[in-house]
Structure 1
């Protein structure tokens, strides 16, 4: 999750990878689930053309080559993820990871994360972003490797008119597809994403041990290591009234675990329940996998079209699973995009027809490492 940026003027399509010659940005290795690892090669290339009849690349969402012209409008030439959720007001909010602007500046205009918006509900020709103006970061980090390198959003949800983003504090980038986190936490915004704060009691320390801490302090339980990255989904049918949080350990090699809570309890980890494989329990230490690893960055949604939950992740191509209940059993994965596209972090768009019950089309953001930008992909669900 690192860098691509501009070395030419505003509006240019010449986006080159940052050289990493400065003292701040340390470009990580992402492999091996991508055909090529190492630093992004840049410049941003034309959209990779792919159309299998069931899955199609639609358009760039970010980058100088995107229809959104994100450098001229937002000061963004390189970013990834695009975690998407409905803000409850007819707007899609999109949280991005490490974000870069102009490489000619000393800090390459590095932001640890960024938030963009869209009111576009017709995605067949791409995802149009709203607004303009230099986009600052949502929440900060120390920026020092080995202490706290960055803070990366992994999931977002709106509950009762308030926006919540789960994020991970990355201590350092490691070998291919490995990174090390200090903790995960939930940031809160009551002004539709303009400002954010993190209640200390939402922090899950990645210590691998269980230790009692005073009320209101961060959580330190061994099972918290399995909730360093997340995906949120609201329950439907018999699961209505619950919010579900899927968790994975830091990196791309762990299994997926499941917690649930009532909407009003999102900030109270003591009221979360965890799936043990047969029942719900009060401690994350009791959680057992609902999907065996390797599970990468994932997104989960309820599809009224399928009347099932849908899960996307991306080890060696984008994989799709379905289940009647959040805890599964989940279907065997179906590959909907090949490894040759070099996509990671597939994040479903809430305005997709398949998620509104109006058709089989499921749209998702996906990131490409070489271009270090996000593109929109369409696939068709099968009943």
Structure 2
């Protein structure tokens, strides 16, 4: 969807819904301090999504980045089954993303195999020089790597203007500044930011599911306008939102945008999974924020952009009724609270592995199942808030470097507002 058309749709949507949302008691603006400031871009603060069980600070605490960057050394964890391996981003990472890409702080790092020998990584709200105008805020961006051995982190090559396989998308006038992938209106109460939540490659194209955040609320809570799929035919260099994939999360109807039903709210943040010995791609969804359950739907790869072809898990024991095209029949496969999840098949365990954060406890947890719909095992704790506070968003990395004893995943830390590679020793994980 062209930027102007997308902006018009969003403005129409949120303006029509404004009175209704006020009546529902949507939280007002709350400022954050990603660069040591009281807010961001004047009327468009990031908000107080930071300030939660994961140890973040919010507007009442300290800065995430400080005046330039307050990233610390790679933290250590004593004991347990999971340990940090290396910083992926930040000035203190081996990639030195501050100098090479203008990235002093960012989060997420959703990683996926692009199908042609590279791993692509999608990051959320990103900042550069905190003393520059707007702190060089980008709502999201893509980095690329050919590194298949995450045992010592991942190496990201230089960005090369016009090179769709280089380490970052950069322009000829700024070859050391990674550019934004999906824009946002930057209007508080309309659209504050756009954040990737899942991505997958199908037949040479890249598909990224993202959420449009209307308003940050209290700790771990925010309101979305919608989720949608953007497509790239040039390896993440450019992206185009597909209007037919928009799942509105507002009580309005927009002409030209197919409305499914109120169950759109179950799929505002997502995770993709390729079935093992199975033709389907599965999409796990959660509501906006960090307190919802996880739901499940599936589709054949060629139907990713056609929501009418999706099938939703109903939980019905009758195998002829287990999957339905009716979104209202979509039942939870994991109970709340589930936040920022990822799922992948694991050869060592011969099970599907799900990682996510528990907002109530501040822990990162793992669950396993022999089928995408479960039943999933009881959660195994990978990292507690006491071991390493403020860590969130565990996204499974698509390579283990040839050593299946370890599961690698990226995770973000509020204190440093950067992404690190983590490693879990699967020999210490009970499988039941």
- 1:25 Cα shift? 5.0
Is the Cα contact below 8 Å between 2:80 and 2:383 reproduced in 1? no
2:284 to 235, 246, 271: 246
Answer with 123-132 or 186-195: which moved more: 123-132
Is the Cα contact below 8 Å between 1:4 and 1:371 reproduced in 2? no
Do the aligned partners of residues 243 and 70 (structure 1) sit closer, same or farther apart at CA in structure 2, a change above 3 Å counting? same
Do the aligned partners of residues 123 and 46 (structure 1) sit closer, same or farther apart at CA in structure 2, a change above 3 Å counting? same
- 1:18 Cα shift? 4.6
Alignment correspondent of 1:233:
273
- 1:24 Cα shift? 5.3
Is the Cα contact below 8 Å between 2:406 and 2:423 reproduced in 1? yes
Alignment correspondent of 1:380:
425
Question: 3-state DSSP class of the match of 2:333?
Answer: coil
Alignment correspondent of 2:203:
160
CA–CA separation in structure 1 for the residues paired with 2:78 and 2:302: 43
- The answer as to 2:390 corresponding to 1:335 is no
1:95-120 CA deviation, whole Å, 9 max, x = no partner? 00011111112211111101011111
- The answer as to 2:245 corresponding to 1:202 is yes
2:411 to 361, 366, 372: 366
Is the Cα contact below 8 Å between 1:3 and 1:99 reproduced in 2? no
- Structure 2, unpaired ranges of 5+: 1-30, 160-175, 317-321
Is the Cα contact below 8 Å between 1:207 and 1:220 reproduced in 2? no
Answer with 328-337 or 118-127: which moved more: 118-127
Alignment correspondent of 1:345:
393
- 1:218 Cα shift? 3.2
CA–CA separation in structure 2 for the residues paired with 1:231 and 1:171: 21
Do the aligned partners of residues 294 and 53 (structure 1) sit closer, same or farther apart at CA in structure 2, a change above 3 Å counting? closer
Give the 4+ runs in structure 1 shifted more than 3 A.
1-5, 39-42
- The answer as to 2:112 corresponding to 1:112 is no
Alignment correspondent of 1:32:
52
Question: 3-state DSSP class of the match of 2:266?
Answer: helix
CA–CA separation in structure 1 for the residues paired with 2:292 and 2:196: 18
Q: TM-score if structure 2 supplies the norm length?
A: 0.81
Is the Cα contact below 8 Å between 1:201 and 1:219 reproduced in 2? no
CA–CA separation in structure 2 for the residues paired with 1:25 and 1:352: 40
CA–CA separation in structure 2 for the residues paired with 1:345 and 1:79: 12
CA–CA separation in structure 2 for the residues paired with 1:147 and 1:102: 26
1:53-109 CA deviation, whole Å, 9 max, x = no partner? 521111111111111100111011111000110000111000000111111122111
- Structure 1, unpaired ranges of 5+: 6-16
2:119 to 81, 87, 92: 92
CA–CA separation in structure 2 for the residues paired with 1:267 and 1:68: 35
Alignment: residue pair count: 364
CA–CA separation in structure 1 for the residues paired with 2:206 and 2:155: 21
Is the Cα contact below 8 Å between 1:117 and 1:131 reproduced in 2? no
- 1:180 Cα shift? 0.3
Do the aligned partners of residues 174 and 53 (structure 1) sit closer, same or farther apart at CA in structure 2, a change above 3 Å counting? closer
Cα RMSD, aligned residues only:
1.9
For the pair shown, the structure with the greater C-alpha radius of gyration is 2
Is the Cα contact below 8 Å between 2:32 and 2:38 reproduced in 1? no
Alignment correspondent of 1:11:
none
CA–CA separation in structure 2 for the residues paired with 1:198 and 1:261: 19
